[in-house]
Structure 1
Amino acid sequence: MTYFNSTNKNSHKTVPESKYKELQKQFSGLIENARLNEQLFKRFSQFEARLMESKDLTTLLNAMTTEFGDYFEVPYLKLVLDRKIFDQLRVTPLNLNDFEGILTFDLTNCSHLLINKSGSLYMGATPKRISSEIHIPINTLSFAQLPLIRNNTLLGILNLGSPDQERFRPDMATDFLERMALITALCLENACNMEQVRQLSLIDGLTGVCNRRAFDDIIIQETSSAVRHQRQLSCLFIDIDHFKRINDHYGHQVGDEALKQLSAQVKPLLRRSDHLARYGGEEFAIVLPETDLQHANLIAERIRKNIAESEFSMLGQQLKMTLSIGVASLNGSTAEKLNIEDTAHQLIKSADEQVYEAKKTGRNRVCC
């Protein structure tokens, strides 16, 4: 057997060749692990920077649901968010159809979706009891769950899966993932707060519905979504008939109250996904996603009839109001995909033209 001299000059011991090779192999393994950890740390640092650079909630959610998988080669990712996050976005709510991998639950009442009730990170076998609810693929053999918690509030749950049984083992170090969960929760909280502040500038101060600026953003966003998913989209323009007479006869305070009561009465007639906005003066506009011309006409007629049959009490005055409503629709499957803003503006223009047609033909009617 061959022996090698020890590197220690004060020692006359020798190391067997087999032992020397084993030590050499272990040393090479340590160097390789250090290299892999360095690469992993670099990817985590880059992704953290990407999250913190997100200027709005949409950009952040895109990074969390699409870029995360690319950075870390995770085959399966599902982000579960507390539904209250979206409920708070009452002016320009996010269209979840534009995001892959996001589910919303009322996490206050769905604590069973959290594997570790303490709120700590989980890694191990795929839990069968929640697999059906968050749509985990059958071939997912290892699973990691990162609770996104801020100020003792569960904002969401990031679920990661892999067909590789060794990818997320219970005995693995979790430092990187725990840090990622903390950074992600912090960025999510900040993005939601920024979005709520931004939306304060998008609300009409008198009626509490969207203002013109918000409407312009919404119509472009919904047009883009309709074209992308080849769906129908409709727009209503509403004008209060002879509104100037109300202001001239009863005063502007009564006129303001008329606008407030009108918007309050119209809102319950719409779906949760519809958008009501005060477009300017006595004009209102409504965006109706996934609605064709026929159904948009029925909605417009229901609004017209409801207002015409109502009597409004305003600062001691009993008033009746009627509406002229214009309706226009687009078919997302045939719309011009490269000119979204022009398409949206054409939709608005068409609905506005129908309002004038309604007024010209006698008022208190719907034209489409």
Structure 2
Amino acid sequence: MTYFNNNNSNKPSLKTVSERKYNELKQQFDDLIHNARLNEQLFKRFSEFESHLMESNDLKSLLTAMTTEFADYFEIPFLKLVLEKDIFTHWHLAPVNLEQYKDVLTYTLCDYPELLVNANGSLYMGATPKKISREIHIPINTLSFAQLPLVRNKKLIGMLNLGSPDPNRFRPDMGTDFLERLTMIASLCFENACNMEQVRQLSLVDGLTQVCNRRAFDEALIQETSSAMRYQRHLACLFIDIDHFKKINDHFGHQVGDEALKQLANCVKPLLRRSDHIARYGGEEFAILLPETDLSGANIIAERIRETVANQEFQLLDQALKITLSVGVACLDGSCDGGTNIETLAQILVKDADEQVYIAKKSGRNRVCSRQR
């Protein structure tokens, strides 16, 4: 006889199945809540950093934000910001010392297509690409990598390269909404910084001679005087006046006079250091600041300028003319009048140099006169 075992004690009860299903659904729900909170925190962090980026209106602060501060804020082990070289042409009067930014590299991007992981310049996340590892010095232990394109006016102006030894830090299947928004904000910030600098340049450059104007000189004068007094260093000032400039305008016309001013500026600039400041002070008068230069050194530079100009024949439109200069030199020794405020010392320096120009003119022109303060 065959017996059937009707004992169902080993089968899970409906209650047990319901509890298990409930626990599974509860775990899924808890995971969703947890992920939502993580996303909320991440969104908050990205929003905070975006606000910080938008407050960076100049290139120097923007570069710091996009490198050191970005890496610290998001705990990124490896970061390299690659920028198009042309972006730095806007800062020729206030040059950026890229040696201060170890995480910034510049290239002519169209000449280096191998720097892009994706040929179309789109965002990339995944394994470390071998083709650019050597170019931007990606560490060997970098197991995940992200490349974020920076685009301005539909043109690629740079890439933010991120790396981590954690293989799950930048996975191809991860959401990229936050990163794409961040790169859009960063690109807009670079565009804003460019526009702001162009406006600043227009306000500080003499349109005719393309050297600094009076406003830029006055700003540099205060800064350099303050620095000279703080560190007890010399600061020299040269005032340069074209001899008989009115006669050039009267005899040959103002176009020839304008050409004389432009060519004079181009003649003098190569004789100065990068740290020196030259400006068109007004009319046919130029002013030059020479930081860390004593009276003897300033006289040598002034004489070199005077002699170079006097020995050159200027081709001014259809006129070949000789030009001579009267140069006034004044110098602060860095320790004088310790109780005098910076603005007063700056005015004294300029006044002394200007007075020496008039002495040079009264003494026969085409000469250098100087005074130590």
- TM-score, normalized by the shorter chain, greater than 0.5: yes
Q: Counterparts in 2 of 1:125-140, with a 5 A limit?
A: 125-137=127-139, 139-140=141-142
Q: 1:201 aligns with which of 200, 203, 206?
A: 203
Kindly state the Cα deviation for residue 306 of structure 1 after the two structures are TM-superposed: 1.9
Q: 1:27 aligns with which of 25, 29, 34?
A: 29
Kindly state the Cα deviation for residue 97 of structure 1 after the two structures are TM-superposed: 5.1
Q: 1:215 aligns with which of 214, 217, 224?
A: 217
Unaligned 5+ runs, structure 2: 1-8, 336-340
Kindly state the Cα deviation for residue 259 of structure 1 after the two structures are TM-superposed: 1.7
Q: Deviations over 1:174-200 (max 9, x none)?
A: 221112112211221232123213322
Unaligned 5+ runs, structure 1: 6-11, 335-340
> Aligned residue for 1:38?
40
Q: 1:320 aligns with which of 299, 323, 326?
A: 323
Q: Is the 8 A contact 2:236 2:293 kept in 1?
A: no
Counterparts in 2 of 1:43 and 1:26: CA distance versus 1, 3 Å: same
> Aligned residue for 2:367?
364
> Aligned residue for 1:181?
183
Aligned to 1:148, what secondary structure does the other structure show?
A: strand
> Which structure: larger Rg?
2
Aligned to 1:147, what secondary structure does the other structure show?
A: strand
Counterparts in 2 of 1:216 and 1:145: CA distance versus 1, 3 Å: farther
> Aligned residue for 2:4?
none
Q: Is the 8 A contact 1:300 1:327 kept in 2?
A: no
Query: Does 1:240 pair with 2:237?
Result: no
**Farther off after superposition, 171-180 or 61-70:** 61-70
Counterparts of 1:208 and 1:189, CA distance in 2: 24
Counterparts in 2 of 1:97 and 1:244: CA distance versus 1, 3 Å: same
Q: Is the 8 A contact 1:146 1:159 kept in 2?
A: yes
RMSD after superposition: 4.4
Q: Is the 8 A contact 1:274 1:288 kept in 2?
A: yes
Q: Is the 8 A contact 2:141 2:165 kept in 1?
A: yes
Counterparts of 1:99 and 1:175, CA distance in 2: 28
Query: Does 1:64 pair with 2:66?
Result: yes
> Aligned residue for 2:6?
none
Partner amino acid, structure 2, of 1:93: P
Counterparts of 2:145 and 2:221, CA distance in 1: 40
Q: Counterparts in 2 of 1:150-169, with a 5 A limit?
A: 150-169=152-171
Q: Is the 8 A contact 2:222 2:342 kept in 1?
A: no
Counterparts of 2:164 and 2:226, CA distance in 1: 33
Counterparts of 2:39 and 2:189, CA distance in 1: 24
Counterparts of 2:11 and 2:127, CA distance in 1: 47
What's the TM-score, normalizing by structure 2? 0.73
Q: Counterparts in 2 of 1:41-120, with a 5 A limit?
A: 41-96=43-98, 99=101, 101-120=103-122
Q: Deviations over 1:52-77 (max 9, x none)?
A: 34444444334323442344232433
Kindly state the Cα deviation for residue 325 of structure 1 after the two structures are TM-superposed: 6.0
Q: Counterparts in 2 of 1:230-309, with a 5 A limit?
A: 237-240=238-241, 242-243=243-244, 246=247, 250=251, 253=254, 254-270=256-272, 275-286=277-288, 302-309=304-311
